[in-house]
Structure 1
Amino acid sequence: MPHPGAEAVIAGLGEPPVGRLTGSNPTELHVEAAMLAIEDSGIDKHDIDGLMTSGTFLNDNIRHHMIIGEHLGLHCKTFCDTLRTGGQSYLNGVQIAKWAVETGQCKAVLLLRGDNILTGVPKGTGLKAYIDYGAHPLEFEVPFGITVPGVYAMVAQRHMHEFGTTSEQLAAIAVACRKHASMNPKAFKREPITIADVLESPMVSTPLRLLDCSPICDGAGALLITSLERARDLKTKPVRILGTGQAQSYYHLAHLARATGARAEDKARFGLTRTVQSVAAEQAFGRAGVKPSDIDVAELYDSFTITVLLQLEDLGYCAKGEGGAFAAGGRLELGGELPVNTHGGLLSFGSSGGINHIIEAARQMRGEGGERQVPNAQLALATNVSAVASNHSIAILGRD
């Protein structure tokens, strides 16, 4: 049962620099982000009794949250966890934190992410180390040469085959993200690009080119979640968590493509180009009592351009197969029908984790976007995705 009068809100944001942070380590990055969120909110850190961290790709310590709690001096917590669902972890964490606050389990929850996957991977080991350290242990597919870009490339190829989607349409997504990153002094990649630039960039895995793929970088982020009543006595404007949702499918491409084990009606609904994000979206929009067209700004997880295109369809912004046309013509840029990834997204802000999508959504609701602020934005959507676009979490945020 909900705690009487409790409504969970985001009350603090922490976002250190991202990029090539030579000499950084994940613990320092977690702590820096946490201290920024604590300072931003103005909360007494001893009121924080919930802590969730994402661990790191290079450190598989299942008690990672205890280590970070020690560094922060958080003595007694009533809820802790180390989240291990990849890029989907952070909105998953928001949903858990919301439950903890609204049931009275916690007064305030700190959700953290920090990693140095650009400078921390041993030199010369590259993608192999990334996989060996547990990012994508696809034991039935990796031995045959599949890579993470290769998996998403297969999804993109299937979408092109089924619906006639073009590389130019995918490129429009990368261009929109870079345009917004050019307005964000914290972004990793800020040099403006054109569709031609994307199409002329090196091929990574057909049809995905270098600029269709998010660059890995070091970075961190933090969210402080507490009750609306408590937040109104803190420093910054609270951001309401109006609705959340999540859904997971398969990890291996072969099972995902066939919807293995699904009921007959679900085999038609899900597959390589039809994700279970539609289920998470039904939850989030239903709980928030709004519809896709009500959203003013969307921060969509963008590991690859195809990841965004699939979400535009599965979130209900266009019919299946029409994502390419929807993304074209500047519709996703500031001033367009649906501004997407106003901080630059993983594609340009930098692939430092999906927590930055939530931070940007909250920043937009606080009216702090600066040059990239969406005028009079009242509702924001944030998504996190991991695995083969098969692990989804969503939150709809609003102004207080």
Structure 2
Amino acid sequence: MTIAASRPVTAVRHTAAVPSAPVRELDGVTRTAVVGPLALEAGGKLPEVTLAYETWGTLDADGGNAVLIQHALTGSAHAARGDSDEDGWWDGLIGPGRTIDTDRFFVVSINIVGGCNGSTGPASPAPDGRPWGSRFPFITLRDAAAAEARLADRLGIRQWFAVVGGSMGGARALEWAATFPERVRKCAVIAVGAHSTAEQIALAQAQTLAIRQDPDFRDGDYYDGAAPESGLALARRIAHISYRSEAELEARFSRKAQDGEQPLNAASLAERGRYQVESYLDHQGAKLVRRFDANSYIALTEALMSHDVGRGRGGVEAALADSPVEFFIAAVETDRLYLPVQSAVLAAALPGEVPVHHIASAIGHDGFLTEAEQLGALLKRTLFS
């Protein structure tokens, strides 16, 4: 799939056709599959959807050893290194001999529709050959699950042994379990609740407005000119504050000035130097601008804003009351974006007695990524025992 953009977008490392029968492919190398047209929950339609995905391990003859890994908001399908030369974002969990053992399981990670890492998204060509841009339809996590189910069909996977994800990936995993309960044996929902709260929506709106108010945004049709990099970087700054705990930021930076800069010694506001925490946020914004598309950030943020597993199903409890899925629920103790109490509310809505596992971390929300060893031990004692 060609991605049209005015700046480099994370490239698909290798592209190949989906195999007609389960065979061993290179681990951790991106491939793409066309899964057809997709009618969307909000009323729009994509005439053709391409999904980028990566796999690790070998699918059993009966297809029963498949595990789906769902990435978070600005993640990609590259969850583990495998045969590639690039570290994965969950290397500590996935690989030979690790909790999600690729000698035992066939692991799949799919780049979400609406993204910018090989799947159909706003930067992709529309039927007229121009990037979708402002014309890209509104998508939900339920739409993403529907598209991913088609890819599972293509890969010969009738039921996942487990679907696992954190943050937006956890919301995607939960949506899979609610939409296709017969296709999910086990489900790990980590660092996210059953629906987006008012505060989470408010934080998300501030991020999307930061992009939309960038003069270069041009209502989303910026692919023939400068990209809205300032707006995207500001959105990332806002988000990253919620990804880290107050205590972690204070311990790392306190009120220290950035090296060579003077926050309190300047003739004018324009000449003021930065505190270290400001430099850190600037760095986080600049990193994201180099690898992510602003329209995709909006599309996926709004999909997460719409997250509500009980929508159209009579509420959360009704949606999950008769679920045959075995659930694993975990929260990061210091998470101030998705509070642990929201994981507890989700667990209480599930059938039976489902405990909430706690990830001890000073980091905050990002602890679901940084504490892979601790999370792996919890998963190994439960879902992957």
Q: Output the TM-score relative to the length of structure 2.
A: 0.28
Larger Rg: 2
Give 1 or 2: higher helix fraction. Answer: 1
